[in-house]
Structure 1
Amino acid sequence: MGETPNEFKLKNPPTDGVSAVKFGNTSQFLLASSWDTSVRLYDVVTNNMRIKYHHSAPVLDCCFYDAVHSYSGGLDNTLKVFDFNTNTESSVGQHDDAIRCVEYCPEVNVVVTGSWDSTVKLWDPRTPCAAGSFSQPDKVYTLSVCGDRLVVGTSGRRILVWDLRNMGYVQQRRESSLKYQTRCIRCFPNKQGYVLSSIEGRVAVEYLDPSPEVQKKKYAFKCHRIKEEGVEYIYPVNAIAFHNLHNTFASGGSDGFVNIWDGFNKKRLCQFHKYPTSIASLAFSPDGSVLAIASSYMYEQDEIDDIPEDTIYIRNVSDQETKPKS
């Protein structure tokens, strides 16, 4: 797969599976965390790696706090903050097991981590220190910030909705409408709901308002399935990313495809070309002009002979690809 005019590969990609890609407040800077124990900061405009720092074990997630600080966590159970200006890192705190998710919530000014130790922890970035630990029913697999609410997906197909301003109790407890393990949850930019994907080639569009008339609008659909000679192959949907302006979203699967969906009108807007291997993570820039696509083999079929190299593609996307058809 050669580079297309609207897409290029980042130089100096991670040397093992890419676990997450995240843009900051502009379309210029991208963070990438990896199983090679690194977190990398890229300038995607000039296509160069600005900074790289390491954990003592694979890193599973990362996020920007502001233009000059990143947070990251992974299999070393440690949350780190890195200062790009001074090139220094410090350990903020620990979980009892791997940190799977790291997100920043600007509305409440907290960093949120979700762990395989079945807790979510909040961290105050001003000091940096712990601001509370909250038990979840099971291992945290994915979480997404939705204004001042937090949607958490755990093993056992459980979904919990929390209010970050009052973590004294769970606002809503739900069961996933999909029959198989939850892989990714991302909230709509308009904060009305979230999209959830599973390991079994399905995506569900859910609404937060519990009233029956709103709940009637929720639905699920099949995707990331390929028919070959009459046999349907079903792939995990690993990644979801929302377009902030259009409320449309991209999904990435282990079939190596990226699709763009209009969730409100239940339509697929487009499908990009096939990438070399599984799509591990996706991120739109804040203005929606750029999509970062991490193509990384995720060991769905264990060891294979020729593992494609880990690659991060930067794709300039058009309104034609991402805007709902009126």
Structure 2
Amino acid sequence: MPYFTNNSRSAPAGPASTASSMGDISADITISSPPEDSISDLVFSKKSDLLAVASWDKRVRIYNVSGTGANSGKAIYPHEGPVLSVAWSDDGGKLASGGTDNAARLWDVTTGQSTQVAAHDNPIRSVRWFTPQGANAQMVITGSWDKTVKYWDLRQQQPAGSVELLERVYTMDVSRDLLAIGTAEKHIQVINLKNPGTIFESRISPLTWQTRVVTCFPDASGVAIGGAEGRCAFIYLDAKNSSSEFTFKCHRVARARGAGTNVYGVNAISFHPVHGTFSTAGADGTFHYWDKDSRTKTRGFPHVGGIISATGFNRTGSIFAYAISYDWSKGHQYNTPTYPNKIMLHRVGDEEAKRKDATKY
């Protein structure tokens, strides 16, 4: 069976390939002083070598990570509950974080201080940034389990705007003027940030099970969706590209005995900042690099020793960070004290994440 399946019955599936050499993780570097509980999110600054990490231990940690993988702790600040999301401002000067204390906080790189800047009635699942039209300063976007998205002008205490959603926010991402939101009950809701108070489009995910992650294409033309059934879907916002939409299987492992396949959730999708290829990582404890345009896997990697809960490339694409951590998909009883909890740094090889010519296979 091919990895890739076209969502349109009338269009050919196009080139597909399972061919890729196995990558090497033996030299991957462990970050010192990791969080003390499960890692929920991580993100690199677009302007510096800073890596922010959110954890269920109620803290946000910031690390210095060089292009060689050398790393050291820079700062740490608390929330009053587990932290679920972190996001850097475009200029790299501020970090937003949100969590189960129903609050979003802002950490300033220059002063090293954090302050509360947002609040919801229920936990904040995701935080992002955007620049309103005609403005010279960014706003923070918060998505919550209270079924709302709110926009926060950091110069005032009350939200600058709010949008009612169909369900609880599970995942959210921004690229340019595109805000994509994955909620409970498989709703994918899209907002054009030129008109931030209105839902631009709502649709049901083409995947069968719960949405785990949504990631916007770098050019804002569409959205990648990762699901609990070990599949991803790529959808486009322009109807003329609908025939190019597809789903593909990943993070599934053939059973050692008997027929069938063990299915694992896709927890993270990250785009390479230079090549435009992307990574997937999941509860099967593996990550892979893919090229969506040629629909090929560019590199696969072996099991890392535990569930991968979050991933991200640094600003140059030379470092790929992944968190080995429990993802809470099976409840609290599986979060044992012996479960691994660490952040790894993979130095991306020259050929690992580059686009492949599908005609070669």
Q: Please state how far the C-alpha of 1:129 moved relative to its aligned partner.
A: 5.3
Say if 2:222 is the partner of 1:222: no
The 1:3/1:147 distance shift into structure 2, 3 A limit, reads: closer
Higher relative contact order (CA 8 A, sep 6+): 2
Q: How does 1:209-248 map to 2 (within 5 A)?
A: 209-211=238-240, 214-227=241-254, 228-230=256-258, 231-248=260-277
Q: Give the equivalent residue in structure 2 for 1:308.
A: 339
The 1:236/1:159 distance shift into structure 2, 3 A limit, reads: same
The separation in 1 between residues aligned to 2:347 and 2:129, in whole angstroms, is 25
- Kept in 2: contact 1:107–1:147 (CA 8 A): no
Q: Please state how far the C-alpha of 1:106 moved relative to its aligned partner.
A: 4.7
Q: Give the equivalent residue in structure 1 for 2:26.
A: 4
Q: How does 1:267-286 map to 2 (within 5 A)?
A: 267-286=296-315
Task: Return 279-288 or 164-173, whichever deviates more.
Answer: 164-173
Q: Please state how far the C-alpha of 1:124 moved relative to its aligned partner.
A: 1.9
Say if 2:127 is the partner of 1:105: no
Equivalent position SS for 2:239: coil
The amino acid that maps onto 1:53 is Y
The separation in 2 between residues aligned to 1:126 and 1:120, in whole angstroms, is 19
Task: Return 270-279 or 253-262, whichever deviates more.
Answer: 270-279
Q: Deviations over 1:246-281 (max 9, x none)?
A: 221101110000011111111111112211211101
Q: Give the equivalent residue in structure 2 for 1:149.
A: 178
Equivalent position SS for 1:320: coil
CA RMSD in angstroms comes to 1.8
The separation in 1 between residues aligned to 2:41 and 2:190, in whole angstroms, is 23
Q: Deviations over 1:188-217 (max 9, x none)?
A: 112221110111111001111123xx1001
Say if 2:93 is the partner of 1:71: no
Q: Please state how far the C-alpha of 1:308 moved relative to its aligned partner.
A: 2.6
Task: Return 39-48 or 64-73, whichever deviates more.
Answer: 64-73
- Kept in 1: contact 2:178–2:216 (CA 8 A): no
The unaligned stretches of length 5 or more in structure 2 are 1-23
Which of 175, 186, 193 aligns to 1:164? It is 193
Q: Deviations over 1:84-134 (max 9, x none)?
A: 322222111210100000112257522111100000011124557521111
Q: Deviations over 1:61-103 (max 9, x none)?
A: 0111243321111000011111232222211121010000011
The separation in 2 between residues aligned to 1:3 and 1:226, in whole angstroms, is 19
The 1:255/1:60 distance shift into structure 2, 3 A limit, reads: same
The 1:136/1:229 distance shift into structure 2, 3 A limit, reads: same
Task: Return 80-89 or 116-125, whichever deviates more.
Answer: 80-89
Task: Return 158-167 or 178-187, whichever deviates more.
Answer: 158-167
Task: Return 45-54 or 34-43, whichever deviates more.
Answer: 45-54
The separation in 2 between residues aligned to 1:128 and 1:62, in whole angstroms, is 20
The separation in 1 between residues aligned to 2:154 and 2:139, in whole angstroms, is 6
Give 4+ residue runs of structure 1 displaced > 4 Å after superposition. Answer: 126-129
Equivalent position SS for 1:40: strand
Looking at CA atoms only, which structure, 1 or 2, has the larger radius of gyration? 2
Q: How does 1:35-50 map to 2 (within 5 A)?
A: 35-45=56-66, 46-50=70-74
Q: Give the equivalent residue in structure 2 for 1:55.
A: 79
The amino acid that maps onto 2:77 is Y
Q: Give the equivalent residue in structure 1 for 2:111.
A: 86
Q: Please state how far the C-alpha of 1:19 moved relative to its aligned partner.
A: 0.6
- Kept in 1: contact 2:25–2:301 (CA 8 A): no
- Kept in 1: contact 2:180–2:189 (CA 8 A): yes
The separation in 1 between residues aligned to 2:51 and 2:323, in whole angstroms, is 12
Q: Give the equivalent residue in structure 1 for 2:6.
A: none
- Kept in 1: contact 2:43–2:88 (CA 8 A): yes
Q: Higher strand fraction: Structure 1 or Structure 2? A: 1
Task: Return 101-110 or 85-94, whichever deviates more.
Answer: 101-110
**TM-score w.r.t. structure 2 length?**
0.85
Equivalent position SS for 1:48: strand
The separation in 1 between residues aligned to 2:220 and 2:38, in whole angstroms, is 31
Q: How does 1:112-123 map to 2 (within 5 A)?
A: 112-123=141-152
Identity of aligned residues (%): 36
Q: Give the equivalent residue in structure 2 for 1:318.
A: 349
The separation in 1 between residues aligned to 2:109 and 2:232, in whole angstroms, is 37
The unaligned stretches of length 5 or more in structure 1 are none
Equivalent position SS for 2:159: strand
- Kept in 2: contact 1:63–1:72 (CA 8 A): yes
**TM-score w.r.t. structure 1 length?**
0.93
- Kept in 2: contact 1:27–1:290 (CA 8 A): no
The separation in 1 between residues aligned to 2:155 and 2:305, in whole angstroms, is 41
The amino acid that maps onto 2:160 is A
How many residues were matched structurally? 322
Q: Deviations over 1:124-173 (max 9, x none)?
A: 24557521111000001111112112111111111111111212422111
The separation in 1 between residues aligned to 2:94 and 2:158, in whole angstroms, is 15
The separation in 2 between residues aligned to 1:253 and 1:17, in whole angstroms, is 15
